[in-house]
Amino acid sequence: FWVAYTPCASQYLNSVQLTLEQIDLIKRVIRKYTDFMQLVTNSQEILKVFKQGKMASMVGIEGGHGIGNSLGSLRMMYELGVRYLTLTHTCNTPWATSSIVESSKNNKMDYVGVGLSEFGKKVVLEMNRLGMMVDLSHVSTQTMRDALATTQAPVIFSHSAARAICDNPRNVPDDVLRQI
């Protein structure tokens, strides 16, 4: 996966534009190096490209702020090839809480656990409908639980660890691991 990442500071400003620019850059890099890699959007394409000896390249978005609180933006990102969305990064969105929130005033880390709003549940269900993977890395424990109670498809933790082994709110507690 190539990841379209925009900083949390772009939320409420230009996060959708920056996400689109990241996706554009990813696609241009892939097109420039077609001898080595190819953009893929499904498992059949992954196998085909792998058999050709190339790197199968998929696109994900790190942080739900990249869709700008819009299901329409989410659908457009899917049309552009995005196949997973991390619901939060190091900031809350209006619809999902992050495990660790960056405080712009003093750079202090605060722990939160409110979970998914009703709109956040709509985001998860729309991702399910589209066939986009729901990534629960970076989200609060309550957001994990809410997403698991809402989703109609398997979820991923693209880069997380077991909290019992590494006690950090970024990691996954045992009860959530048992659910997945």
The span from the CA of 146 to the CA of 140, in Å, is 10
Give me the domains of the chain, ranges plus CATH numbers. Answer: 2-179 (3.20.20.140)
Tell me, what amino acid is at 120?
G
Pairing verdict, β 133-135 and 82-86: parallel
In this structure, the number of other CB atoms found within 10 A of the CB of residue 54 comes to 16
Category of 107 on φ-ψ map: left (φ > 0), alpha (ψ -120 to 50) or beta? left
pLDDT, residue 31, reads: 97
pLDDT, residue 114, reads: 84
pLDDT, residue 22, reads: 98
Q: Over the stretch 57-109, which tens digit does the pLDDT of each residue have?
A: 999 999 999 999 999 999 999 999 999 999 999 999 999 999 986 333 433 44
pTM for this structure?
0.91
Quote the percentage of the chain above a pLDDT of 70.
Answer: 93
